[in-house]
Every structure is written in C-alpha cells, then in structure tokens.
Chains A and B, each alone.
Chain A
Amino acid sequence: MLPKKHTFAFRLNLYVVSSISLIAFIIFTSYYFISRNMFLDAAEQNAKNITEKYVNQIDAVIGKVAKIPFNFAMIVENNILDEKKLVLMLQNIVANNEEVYGSAVAFEPFSFNKDKYFSSHYVYRSDEKIITSDLNDPKYEYFYQDWYQIPAKLGKPVWSEPYYDEGGGNTLMTTYSVPFFRTQNGATELWGIITIDIELDWLDKIVSSIQIYDTGFAFVISYAGTFVTHPNRNFIMNQTIFSLSEEFNIPSLRDIGRKMIAKKSGFEKLNGVTIKDDSRIYYTPFNSNQWALGVIFLDKELYADLNNLSLLIVVIGFFGLIFIVTTITTVSKKLTKPLNLFANAATEIGSGKFNSKLPEINSKDEIGELFNSFKQMQFELNNYIKNLKETTAEKEKMQSELRIAHKIQMDMVPKIFPPFPEREDVDLFAILESAKEVGGDLYDFFFIDDEKIVVLVGDVAGKGVPASLFMAVTRTLIRSKIIKGITSSQIIDQINRDLMQNNDSQLFVTLLLCIIDLKTKTMEYTSAGHNPAYIVSEKGEITVLKDRHGMALGLFDLQPYKSSIYQMEKGDKFVLYTDGVNEAMDKDGNIYDYFRLENMLVKMQKLSAKESTELIIQDIKKFADGAEQSDDITLMVVTLK
C-alpha cells in the first residue's frame, strides 16, 4: 500500500505527513498541557470546595458541643454549687446532648472539699442509660491524665488526642477539656477541669462519605498527626502521618503533615517510593480544634477524562494520517501516471524511436503543458536529427576530402630518403608533421645542376586547407622559378610578387631558401621573415644564420630581397626548421625554445641527417609529453660530406 521510496507519492507523503504530524504534535501537546493545568486548577477548586464544605459541617458540630463545657465552667466559677447540683448539671448535659458521650468535672486537690484529695464527678452514657460515677480512683490519679493535665498546665481549653474508650468497646473518642478558675486571696488560680467526651463515629461517617473521583478519599489527623479517620482502619490510632511517611518512605508526606498540624491549607503532589501512582492532596485545618482534614486522589483519575479525550484525539489523528497518506498516494499515482507514460515515451525517444506515440492527454493542466512540450520536443528532435544527419554527412565528406588534401600535400614534399643515394657529398633528411590534417608548412630540395642544390623551408600563416593551398602554390611557384644561375634572392622576389597577386585572403608565407654549391660548399640564402637556421660544425660549434632579408612573402613589395653567403665546411650540418620546433609547447604552456634546441644540436655532430632529425623530433615529443601539437613541425638537416 505504501508507495515505494523515491517516488513522488512517497516524498509527497513524507513532507506532508511529517509537516502535519509536527503541527498536530505541537497543537496536541499545547492543548494537553494547558488542559492538564485547567483540570488541575479545577481539581484543586473542587477539593477545596468539598473540604471546606465538610470542615464547616464538622466545625458546626464541634463548635456546638464545645460551648457546653464553656457554659458549665462559667456557672461553676460564678455560683456556689454543691455536689448534688454538679452531678445534676452533668446528667443534664449528657441527657440533653446526644453528641456528648460523657461529661466530667474534676477539681484540684483539696480545693472543692478541703478533706478530699480527689474530687470529681463523671456522668456517661451506657446502653441508653445515664450512669453517674466519679474518677476518684487513687490508681487513676486524674491529675496526671492528659485530659486534665494539659489544659491545667496551659490554662486554656484543649481537645485531647483521640483515644479508645476504656469500656473496651471499639469507640473512638476525644475529650474537650475546659479549665475553670477561682479567686483565692485576691489571686486567680486553677480550680478544676470540665470535660465532655465525644464519640467520633459521626466524624468517621462524615469523612468516610467524602469521595473524590473514583478512589479518592478523605482523612483526619489530630494535633500529633495521629489518624483519627482513614479508609484503612489499621491506620486509625496506630499511625501518625509522620510514621506513615517513615514506614512507607514518602518524605513529602512528612512535610505535608507538618503543614497540616500547623493549621495551614494547601494543594500538593504526593509521591514516594512505595506510591505507585502519583496523587494529589488537599488539606485544610478545622477551625474549632487543632485537627486537620485531608483529601487524596489519584492523578490518573483526575486526568481520566482528559486522557480519554486525548486518546480519542490521538486515534482520530492516527486514522486521519492514514487517510491523508491514502489520499496523497492515490492522487499522486493518478497525477503521475501520465508522467510514467511520458517517462516510457522519453525512454523510447532516447533509444532513437523519435516518432514514438505520446500518451494521450487532454487536460489543460501542467501535464497538458508537459504533453505540448513533449510534442514540441519530439518535433524539434526530429528536425534536429534530420539536420544532424545531413551535417554529419557533409562533415564526413569534408573530412574525407581533407584526408585526401593532406595526402596530396604530403605528396608535394619529397619523402623518399635518402633522396640522393648516388651522391656521397650530401646527406639530407626532412620531416613535416602537421598539427592538423592539412598544414601550412613546407620544405623542398632539388638540384639546379650537378653541383647546386636548393633547400628550402617555409611556413604559411594559419593552418588548414587555405594554408595548405597557399603552401602548394608557393611550392609550385618556387619550382617554376628555378633556372640555371638564378639566386635565392631573385627566386624570393619573384615568388613574392606572384603571391601578392590575387591574395585577397592576405595569407603570407615565411621562407628560408638556400642554394648550396656542394663543390665549393658555398651557401647563398635568403630568409623572408623565417626563423634563423643553424650550422653545426663537425666539432659541435653552432653558428646561427641570423640574417633576415625581408618580410614574409605575399603581403608587400617594398624592396628587393637580398641574400647572404655562408661558407660551409665539410662535415657541417645545416639545420632548417619552422617555428613549430622552437614554439612546441608542453601541457603547461611552456615553450620548447631555442636554448633546448641548441642543446640538442650539440649532440648530433656524429649522427646522420636522419638520426639528427629524429633526435630532435623525439626530444620535442618528450618535451610536449602528450600535449596536443599546436603548430606544424618541419625540420630539415643537410650534412655536407
């Protein structure tokens, strides 16, 4: 189903899906965390409302019963009461207040009756009856009981820590003790304590009924942190919030407990080693005593709705993405199907079938434009190929003709060596290597008579067919001018004039023409703008024939060319060349140069003309090191024997 890698559909999916996923992720994450905070705020408010409601309810009960001993204390302080009246009042308190389990009045030693160390009365409820008793048991020593001692020492009312009633029943109780005072000898002193005992069943019922989310619960702790109510009955009276923190290794619980007994309210996260799920606690103190109420609920329940909604969004998002992928894949395939057909057509066209049928497209969209472009391309390609065929044919024809021209050109220069095997007074060798198929260099040699030999080397400006034709004309003209007794300068003059005529193309040729008398070894030569030739003696001495007698031929007829005479010796080598030798280049554009040429000349004194020529040619090739030859190279060596 998924598109293959590198296809248009795949990439489109990749870009679109990843972009949408990124945006969706950002939106979802923002939504989730903002919602979480909103849920948390709502949960805090909810917990606060619930706890305040119940705290008010509990405070109302406690506050109501707390007034009873207060009123009683005022009566005792302000009236002279005998024991009967005291007992009657206690009986009324217990009988008329169903929340009150028992009530006691206890006096300081010898203060109610100067003969009695213990003086107390206690009235309590038992099986619907009101029992009247006292707490005067010497073993009990009520002065040292918390309910008496703490308010007595503090001089103010105190709610006792919770305790189980002594009757052995499993009723949890608390006692509210109010001290009362009398004035003796002008000084106010503690006279005794009035108490009411309250069963805490009602408190447990109220607190147990508090439910937050599914498993959230409430609990009450006393001033010492002891659990007064808790869903886990084992905790009640056995554990304090602090011992629980220690036993179950929940350090945060200790801090929370301390805030609770310090009468603070708060909303906090609870976590610890033994708590599997994160949870929250909201706590608030009672106003009427020093106890505090806490509600705990699990984060997962707090966020349950949010998590369900988020899951739904994720699921919808997932299927949405699948839908997008499917749509993109389908549409892409539909859109790219013609492209595939075009690709096939292009492949066919590429293989040479220029008239391949293009896919049928009638749409006017980009694909339609592509079809038109393809159609145009096919047409242009056909034309191009047709032209190309013609051009290629022409080019091939031309190349063939050039090859023939080259052959003709090469045929024009003598190539049979040694040219004069019957003569022992001269050895001659020459090479012409064209840079292109048809070059503009030339050389020639021939005898005028038995003793005089003409040797010449020339270089037509430019290369190719025009140059070679100019060269052929020059060569032919030279040969046509040769008559007995003619000098090199005469020949040059005549040729110059001939070449100038009808030279619309402004071609020209440099030429070094020498006439050597082999008998006298006298050489007459004329240089028409050509490179200086060398004479290498048998001893290796090099002489440069620097004389130039005028400009290259074919352009101007300024003044007659002159000639120079040089007396050669037996064994001298006469070296003629074109600028293709000294201007041969290597790959880096360095020039072969005269210096290197002259170094080679020294080495050739004992070599034949052929060997000498080849020595230099090989050195040039070595120097060029495979670089393309840029100019014709012509070299001729004539050795006088």
Chain B
Amino acid sequence: MKKSLIYLCVVFVSLSINNINAQSNLKKIRFAVHWMPQAQFSGYYIGVDKGIYKKYGFDVEIIHSTSSVTSQDLLLDGKVDFASMFLTTAMVLRSYNAPIINVAQLSQRCGQVLVAKNNKIKEIANLNNKKIGIWKSGFDEILMSFINKNKLNVKIVLINSTINLFLFDGIEAMNTMWFNEYHSIINAGINEDELKTFFFADYGLDIPEDGIYMLQNNFDKETVDKFIKATFEAWNYTFENKEEAIKLVEIEMKAQNIAFNKSQQVWMLNRLHDLFYVKDKKYLKGQLLESDFENTYNILTDLNRINNSFNYVDFYFGIK
C-alpha cells in the first residue's frame, strides 16, 4: 500500500515535470554541424527524432553548414549555440583569438587517409613530384604535416569535394576521410587491393577530429553538461540502431537534394563508431586528452598555423 502510494507520487511528479517541460518552453538550442547532411551527424538526428534532447530539456535545431557557410562562421556570428568542428580548425581559430572552447571531443582518432592507386605509388617516397588532391575547404593540416615530416616535394591540387579528378587520374593521390571519400572511391569501382593507403594515425599524426564547440562567454556548465550527456545518449542509441539512424540520414539528405547512397552511409556510421571508440586508448567519454591537445598544438605550430599561443585549460572545458 505504502509502495503504491510512493509509485503514484512518482508518476504524478514525472507527469508534472513533463507538462512543465512541454508548456514551459524547452530551452532552444541551435547546433551547427560542420558539413552537409550525412551519417557523420546521424547521432544528432537521432537525438532530435527520438526526443532524447527533449528529455533533457532542449529543443535542438540542427543547422548544416556548406562549403561557403561553415559551422565556425555560424558559431562566431552568434547564429548557433554549439558547433561541431575539427580540432585543428578550432585550435587555429582559437590562436587567432576566436573565443571558442571545446566542450566535448567525440572523435578520438584521426580518420584521414591519403589514398593513391598502387600501380604508381607503393611507398611514401613515390609521392615525390606527384599531384596530391586536397580539399579547398580546409582540413589540410594533417596532410601538410605528413608531407613536411616525410620531406616530400609534392604538387598540391586544390579540389572542391568530389573524387572525380582522382578517378580520371588528374591527380596521383588524394586526401580522404576514411569514413567518406575512401569508400566513395571503392564505390566507383576501384578495388581496395588497387589502392595504396597512408593512414596518418599510423605515422604519428593521430590527432582527434570531431568535437563540439561553443563561445566561451556563453559557457554555462549545467546546460553544457546536460547537452553533452544527451548527445552521447543519442550517439549510443544510434550505434545500437543503425538502420533507424540511416533512415533519418536518408530523409535529411533527400530533403537537401543530396544523393543518398545507403552502403556509403552505413560504411560511414560504422567507421565513425571506430573513431569514437578507440580500443587501445584510455580516455573518458567526450574527453579531449591533454596529450592529444599538445600533439595537435605542436603539429600546428610546426606548420606555423598558431598565431597566438594558448593553453589546454583555456581551450578545453569538457569532462576531465
């Protein structure tokens, strides 16, 4: 009898809280992700679609960036509350005094890989005097560091976003995301055994990538903690319900008239899982390790990308 009463009370209180949430206007959060719709952001789609953010009191709106309007632009312009970004991108910005801070590091491993056709490129030295394609939109730090470290003399060819120049043999090698362009090449009929790959993580350039950022002035620990917790819950659900997540990706992509290819998106989600959960690395979920920060900082310093120095404590506000 007593237990029943307690149960009833709990139910009543829960219902009341839900009502309050519904009525008392969820906290509006605008979240910019750093590329067009794809499985790379499926965790956020799930967070919204499955009401996970709502459960934590947020009404999250996901805003996709484009090649012309980036997520950092949106964040710095104050158009969004949070933005996903590459660690290198964010740290370069920070060195130019952009007031951004890292509140969670999702990817823990470098997902970039230099891909070449192995009929011409069999080892690093073969890259000398070759044309290497790299995105015009950025993400070039790791590749440049790799080139410097191996003292390579290469011709950099800036490319937009397709792999076609590589397919047509206009360039000998191309910087790719393992979870994306690498698989696009496979899906264009080139077999894996016809490719020579250089995973930068294997060459001492294992720096983490996707993280969540915000303006330092807007930092509110309680809100941030809740948002990050909700985000990880959403990602967990995503990795456990991949089919469901891929369906949401399909909806998002088709809404923006972007070609949806299921096998490509499934590949991306699976590789993302590999990047988020690295087996032989000790870290807390969402943590930016100071060693990773230092490693990245040094790489960027070597490339002369750091304008003003800053330290880990000022940059990272996430779980420690």
Contacts and interface: CB of A to CB of B under 8 A. Distances in A.
Contact of B167 (A149, A223, A254): A223
A161 B68 contact: no
A242 B187 contact: yes
Interface in B196-226: none
A141 B136 contact: yes
B188 A240 contact: yes
Contact of A247 (B131, B164, B189, B262): B262
A144 B160 contact: yes
Interface in A151-172: 153-154, 158, 160-161, 164, 168
A436 interface: no
B139 to A, nearest CB: 15
Nearest to A248: B263
Contact of B164 (A161, A237, A239, A246): A161
Contact of A154 (B170, B187, B262): B170
A381 B317 CA distance: 126
Contacts of B77: none
Contact of B165 (A149, A223, A243): A149
A238 B160 CA distance: 19
B68 A139 contact: yes
B260 interface: yes
A257 interface: yes
Contact of A261 (B68, B157, B189, B263): B189
B136 A238 contact: no
B264 A150 contact: no
Contact of A239 (B157, B159, B261): B261
Nearest to A149: B165
A225 B159 CA distance: 21
B186 to A, nearest CB: 7
A433 interface: no
Contacts of B260: 238
B284 interface: no
A243 B168 contact: no
A144 B187 contact: no
Residue of A225, A246, A258 contacting most chain B CB atoms (<10 Å): A246
Contacts of A168: 257
Contacts of A244: 263
Contacts of B1: none
Contacts of B170: 149-150, 153-154
A139 B67 CA distance: 9
A153 B157 contact: yes
Contacts of A226: 188
Nearest to A257: B189
Interface in A79-124: none
A242 B167 CA distance: 14
A366 to B, nearest CB: 78
Contacts of A150: 164-165, 168, 170
Nearest to B68: A139
B5 interface: no
A146 B158 CA distance: 11
B169 interface: yes
B266 to A, nearest CB: 8
B160 to A, nearest CB: 5
A224 interface: yes
Given A146-B165, A149-B170, A161-B164, A224 B259 contact: no
A502 interface: no
Contacts of B167: 223-224
Contacts of B261: 238-240, 243
Contacts of A246: 187, 263
Contacts of A158: 168
B189 A243 contact: no
Contacts of A144: 136, 158-160
Q: Taking each of A240, A241, A243, A257, which has the highest tally of chain B beta carbons within 10 Å of its own beta carbon?
A: A243
B241 interface: no
B162 interface: yes
Interface residues of B, number: 29
A505 interface: no
Contacts of B110: none
Nearest to B264: A243
Nearest to A139: B68
Interface in B167-189: 167-171, 186-189
A154 B165 CA distance: 9
A225 B160 contact: no
Among the interface residues A150, A168, A257, which one has the most CB atoms of the partner chain B within 10 A? A150
Contacts of A254: 189
A78 B171 CA distance: 30
A215 interface: no
Contacts of B186: 242
A259 to B, nearest CB: 10
Contacts of B159: 144, 149
Interface in A505-523: none
Nearest to A240: B187
Nearest to A168: B257
A153 B68 CA distance: 24
B68 A146 contact: no
A145 interface: yes
Most buried by A among B162, B189, B191, B260: B189
A261 B263 CA distance: 20
Nearest to A236: B259
A238 B131 CA distance: 29
Nearest to B254: A238
A128 B160 CA distance: 32
A146 B160 contact: yes
Interface string A191-226: 000000000000000000000000000000001111
A101 to B, nearest CB: 18
A441 to B, nearest CB: 112
A144 B134 CA distance: 11
A258 B160 CA distance: 26
Contacts of A257: 189
Nearest to A161: B164
Contacts of B164: 146, 150, 160-161, 224
A241 B160 contact: no
Of B164, B165, B167, B264, chain A has the most CB atoms within 10 Å of the CB of B164
A224 B168 CA distance: 9
Contacts of A240: 187-189, 261
B136 A225 contact: no
A127 to B, nearest CB: 21
A239 B266 CA distance: 13
A243 B260 CA distance: 11
Contacts of B157: 153
A237 B189 contact: no
A154 B263 CA distance: 30
Contacts of B171: 153
Contacts of B257: 164, 168
Interface string A363-399: 0000000000000000000000000000000000000
B288 to A, nearest CB: 33
A493 B264 CA distance: 137
Contacts of B168: 150, 153-154, 158, 223
A224 B263 contact: no
A144 B156 CA distance: 13
7 contacts: A146-B162, A149-B160, A150-B168, A153-B131, A153-B157, A243-B187, A257-B189
Given A154-B170, A224-B163, A225-B188, 7 more contacts: A145-B160, A149-B165, A240-B188, A242-B186, A244-B263, A247-B262, A261-B189
5 closest A-B pairs by CB: A153-B170, A224-B188, A247-B263, A246-B263, A243-B187
